[in-house]
Structure 1
């Protein structure tokens, strides 16, 4: 894992609460200008100064931690401006922007547990943060809703990588390092053994005509890095018919054309054939395994982020602000 995920921030908060520590959830609710973090970004802060998450490259985290610990005394939610327009004249963001942060001390551990349980079941979940506390909500997007701010958490990226050799291992390792939930499907026992030793889920594919079972949902990407297209005859029709936001297979434009013709000849409905991407990856003609893996994963992550609900950069009403400052 190369960076803290939204779910890990909630897990950090839940763990500190279990330890009996005062804990605060801090949420970015509005940006004036530019910001290195998007609306809905969060930090979790414990009363001993430990924290998870960030809002900048280190410019304001210490001030956020101090402010969060200060809210634990009265236990009231608080909306604070940092940067441009802030009463804290000594705290400035290098980009000259202003950000509004909502501090929610003592979040309800039951609400955190429910959202994390839904996340573990790969179900979307929403927290509502307001002056009344932290609760579970059914809103479909992040943003202000009345006197509360909603945070929508989607399941993490899942990748089913199918292939052999270094193309498979490079893609699976890179995706796992990024933080995706990865399953490698292959007849290549050597490659699978190496990936399993690194903690990556594997499925051995023994016979071409007998596909193994694997889990899929709307947040799943399928990628075939097979060079031997015979292995795809059963694989691609199954992948195209399963829930998922991305189905791709490596190959030249000519190879892709042959592949689509073969799918149609085998009886795959045209609406499913159209789900197969015409090209794979963001780096044209990537040929070495490491660059190919980076090219493919970059495109998948780009497509995954397009699934995330837009956070509404709205401001609360004056009455709502009065309750939080």
Structure 2
């Protein structure tokens, strides 16, 4: 265990692995704590102007200098790791500014803005384990940092990332799960692209899967009658994205059928059709890129944090 800030001079921070996945960052921190090491959690708590990462982006830094995660585009992470080692040595949490408004003129952010990082010495593994357990059960969860007491607690349920007076709340959502239905080359291509993008993918499950608010449902059948059971299940549930293959004329027939079955206009309006971010994609790979990008855009809108500068 580090006892004095001078000890940090003997340690050169080194990236353990490259990731911006919050689950991987928290797991790395929890594993370090369980191994008896001191660990600091670095959180992006303020953005001034532009920034490479969203509010709430995090790093975990162990006392041996190994760290993971990103709070910027890679330009401040090593410096932030040094600050985290100093925090572990002193035992006192701190906030550090980089870029605009920072005292460090030798660290300039390429985006031209500025960021503030909160560096917290973790006192317990329990809040991290609570978050990881909730996410494994596909339940939204949060971490709440109380600045005056330098304490961290888990918060069940949905929250929003940002400051509330002297509390900074960090929201975590389950990973995106994409359900792809349709025995077509387009479905296979979309599954490959979605997997390459890091999403959890199920292609043509044998039954209609459970759908939650972190699920995207993609229907890529060329035979419209096959999609109806899945489509109705999606409209009954609350997935953040529902997209269906077909031209505008095909979608109009789909709408008419759903009206006949008693669905309301507001329900049917949740269906993105024609599917994708750009029209008339006539080959499987282009369509796959269009669809996965559309899902990513919908998720980004869903996760948009509250942008509140300062400590409230």
Q: Normalising by structure 2, report the TM-score.
A: 0.86
Please tell me the root mean square deviation across aligned C-alpha atoms, in Å. 2.0
Structure 1 stretches of 4+ moved >3 Å: 265-272
Say which of 61, 71, 74 aligns to 2:77. Answer: 61
Residue 228 of structure 2 is aligned to residue 230 of structure 1 = no
Contact 1:108 1:135 in 2 (8 A): no
Q: Provide the rounded CA distance (Å) in 2 between the counterparts of 1:233 and 1:310.
A: 35
Q: 1:107 to 1:251 in 2, by over 3 A?
A: farther
Map of 1:211-222 to 2, 5 A cutoff? Answer: 212-222=207-217
Residue 120 of structure 2 is aligned to residue 104 of structure 1 = yes
**Secondary structure of the corresponding residue to residue 271 of structure 2:** coil
Superposition deviation, residue 165 in structure 1: 3.0
**Secondary structure of the corresponding residue to residue 258 of structure 2:** helix
Q: Provide the rounded CA distance (Å) in 2 between the counterparts of 1:132 and 1:12.
A: 21
Question: What are the ranges of 5 or more consecutive residues in structure 2 without an aligned counterpart?
Answer: 1-17
Partner of 2:283: 288
Q: 1:234 to 1:128 in 2, by over 3 A?
A: closer
**Secondary structure of the corresponding residue to residue 235 of structure 1:** helix
Contact 2:246 2:273 in 1 (8 A): no
Q: Provide the rounded CA distance (Å) in 2 between the counterparts of 1:224 and 1:213.
A: 12
Contact 2:245 2:274 in 1 (8 A): yes
Question: What are the ranges of 5 or more consecutive residues in structure 1 without an aligned counterpart?
Answer: 186-202, 205-211, 318-325
Q: 1:83 to 1:256 in 2, by over 3 A?
A: same
Q: 1:316 to 1:110 in 2, by over 3 A?
A: same
Q: 1:214 to 1:147 in 2, by over 3 A?
A: same
The alignment of Structure 1 onto Structure 2 pairs a total of residues equal to 292
Q: Provide the rounded CA distance (Å) in 2 between the counterparts of 1:89 and 1:221.
A: 44
Superposition deviation, residue 312 in structure 1: 3.1
Map of 1:176-191 to 2, 5 A cutoff? Answer: 176-185=195-204
**Secondary structure of the corresponding residue to residue 89 of structure 2:** coil
